[in-house]
Structure 1
């Protein structure tokens, strides 16, 4: 799934993201709108992850979401 496709399906996938990253707020999700870089930044900020960890975590989640 391309990142522009992710942004287009963000409303559907936001619920799945909330299951993955419960510490993120609705505002965090609204600001990110499925954008990879913004989501990674939010994961780093709210979960205290290093950049590499946040990227890996997001990419793992993203690959599971390709089924949608």
Structure 2
């Protein structure tokens, strides 16, 4: 998994993230600054996903 979401792609990625994972707040997402590990941690926390599952979800959106 990429450690960071490309800066130029971040705005689009945030929109897709919020669309798919609405429990995440804008502030929480912004605080990760595109760090994929932190984003996966948020998915684990909010949705009870396993680490591997959360990482796969981030990878899907980052394509």
Aligned positions of 1:2-41 closer than 5 A: 6-41=6-41
Quote the offset at 1:3 in angstroms: 5.4
> Which sections of structure 2, spanning at least 5 residues, go unmatched?
none
Q: How far apart in 2 are the matches of 1:27 and 1:10? A: 14
Gaps of 5+ in 1: 64-68
Count how many residue pairs are aligned between Structure 1 and Structure 2: 62
Q: Give 1:4 deviation, angstroms.
A: 5.2
Q: CA RMSD of the aligned region, Å?
A: 1.9
Residues in 2 aligned to 1:3 and 1:37: alpha-carbon distance in whole angstroms: 6
Deviations 1:26-67 (A, max 9, x none): 11111112111110111111111010110111111112xxxx
Q: Greater Rg, structure 1 or structure 2?
A: 1
How far residue 21 of structure 1 moved from its aligned partner, in angstroms, is: 1.1
